[in-house]
Structure 1
């Protein structure tokens, strides 16, 4: 461990400036855009950003433009391989269709959680049934 600089990890992000990156956020959203700026807290500025929503083998992209991300909200960050991006085994659908699919998927998760909670409650187990948006 030759490098004792505490900012070394964040400084390596400078090598990613102007590259197309995918960023997974703590709330589960996936953003894709060009990294334009990064600071010592790993706060990011993405340009030409899209929010990509996946449901099963389908995806839809919502244009977001310039997007500022607090470093503490980044779970995963990686460069997009442009050659592989062209050959995705996924089907692109309209924003309306993917949002509708996402809503149905969330409703199914919520209903499954509700049924499990009800079954556990009938067996005498007290379960927290409050769900946040991120949990279902």
Structure 2
């Protein structure tokens, strides 16, 4: 209930939402429910790689409450987010895929290293993924 009261204050404001799978969505908060499911209008997914970013336009977006880690109001004029530079979407997507692949390899190596020592690691890597 307390969380719902805080979200009410953000209705019809531009918000940035971080999800548990490390995605960033920005849009106008139009609706939410008791499960913190959100509806964002004019939503974009922001991809950030190193000091560059690009946005993928999504339009109307429904985000399940169980995937949300943070919601905060985006102040007017805060679109650039510090020292980040806007870049072409195609370039960012290539860099983003390379970064994700590198992270998956690092996580896979960590899992193998821990398995050699009799330990397990529960990260974000799907069990079906392998090198």
Between the aligned partners of 2:68 and 2:79, the Cα distance in structure 1 is 21
5 Å-filtered alignment, 1:64-75, equals 64-75=58-69
After superposition, the CA RMSD in angstroms is: 2.5
Aligned residue for 2:22?
28
Deviation of 1:102 after TM superposition, in Å, equals: 0.9
Aligned mates of 1:80, 1:62 — CA distance in 2:
17
Label 1:36 to 1:116 Cα distance change in 2 as closer, same or farther (>3 A): closer
More helix by share: 1
Cα distance in 2 for partners of 1:10, 1:57 equals: 34
Q: CA deviation digits over 1:24-62, x for unaligned, max 9?
A: 111111100000112222211100000001111111100
Task: Give the distance between the partners of 2:109 and 2:80, measured in 1 at CA.
Answer: 41
Q: Which 4+ runs in 1 deviate beyond 6 A?
A: none
Structure with higher Rg: it is: 1
1:37 aligns with 2:19: no
The reply to whether residue 98 of structure 1 matches residue 92 of structure 2 is yes
How many angstroms apart in 1 are the aligned matches of 2:107 and 2:35? 37
Residue 3 of structure 1 corresponds to which residue in structure 2? Answer: none
| TM-score, normalization by structure 2 | 0.80
Q: Secondary structure at the match of 2:17?
A: strand
Aligned with 1:103: secondary structure? helix
Displacement, 1:8?
Answer: 3.6
Counterpart-to-counterpart distance in 1, 2:10 and 2:111: 45
Aligned position for 1:47: 41
Structure 2 unaligned regions, length at least 5:
none
Q: Are the equivalent residues in 2 in contact too, given 1:16–1:35 (CA < 8 A)?
A: yes
CA shift at 1:120, angstroms? 5.7
